[in-house]
């Protein structure tokens, strides 16, 4: 029994170490250039940051397709997609799930925007939005509002999936005035 408790303590310590290590690189700061990316979307199309130059970009990272919070967030972006486009903003979601998982998720909820597969976690890491527990990688629920010049205009780290899209719309309007 003591061996089992010691093993559990050691495992918890190891998980905490990897979590803290992944959390130490914090998200990008406002004004920083957005790191480039080249990832496959749910249709197998290669998407890059460059294709959004000259437009605003809502780049949101999320942990996992088909989970309650991620589904709520994606559906709110879907419902507000037209309003976001009226402000010249495109929406792109990124997680470490595969293109096939993204395709199923996007089809199930009729998502009108690309979901990018960052299966290695390297893009999430470059944005400071990666939880890396060694064998398990997940994107943190962070969003980056990127301006038409490719610079980070706003960073959201404590995202409420229920109201995040509304907050983005409000901030987008304020930043463009």
pLDDT digits (tens, 9 = 90+) for 68-124: 999 999 999 999 999 999 999 999 999 999 999 999 999 999 999 999 999 999 999
Reduced to 3 states (helix: H, G, I; strand: E, B; else coil), residue 124 is: helix
What the block records as the tokens of 48 is 């890059």
Lowest-confidence range among 14-28, 54-68, 81-95, 122-136? Answer: 14-28
CATH number for the domain spanning 102: value is 3.40.30.10
Supply the range of the domain harboring residue 70: 2-176
Residue 70 falls in the annotated catalytic set: yes
Average pLDDT over residues 135-148: 93
Annotated catalytic residue, options 70, 91, 115, 138: 70
pLDDT digits (tens, 9 = 90+) for 2-16: 766 555 464 544 444
What's the CA gap between 127 and 158, in Å, rounded?
15
Reduced to 3 states (helix: H, G, I; strand: E, B; else coil), residue 34 is: coil
| CA–centroid distance for 10 within its chain | 31
What's the CA gap between 145 and 167, in Å, rounded?
11
Number of separate domains in the chain: 1
Q: What is the largest CA-CA distance in the chain?
A: 64
pLDDT of residue 3: 65
């Amino acid at each position: 029994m003591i061996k089992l408790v010691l093993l559990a303590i050691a495992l918890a310590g190891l998980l905490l170490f990897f979590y803290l290590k992944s959390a130490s690189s914090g998200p990008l700061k406002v004004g920083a250039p957005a790191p480039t990316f080249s990832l496959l979307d749910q249709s197998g199309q290669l998407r890059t940051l460059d294709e959004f130059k000259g437009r605003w970009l809502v780049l949101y990272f999320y942990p996992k397709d088909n989970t309650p919070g991620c589904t709520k967030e994606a559906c709110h972006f879907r419902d507000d997609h037209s309003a976001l486009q009226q402000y010249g903003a495109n929406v792109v979601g990124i997680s470490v799930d595969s293109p096939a998982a993204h395709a199923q998720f996007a089809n199930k909820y009729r998502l009108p925007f690309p979901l990018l597969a960052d299966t290695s976690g390297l893009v999430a890491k470059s944005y400071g939005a990666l939880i890396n527990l060694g064998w398990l990688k997940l994107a943190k629920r962070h969003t980056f509002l990127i301006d038409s010049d490719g610079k980070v205009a706003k960073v959201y780290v404590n995202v409420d999936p229920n109201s995040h899209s509304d907050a983005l719309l409000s901030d987008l309007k304020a930043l463009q005035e």
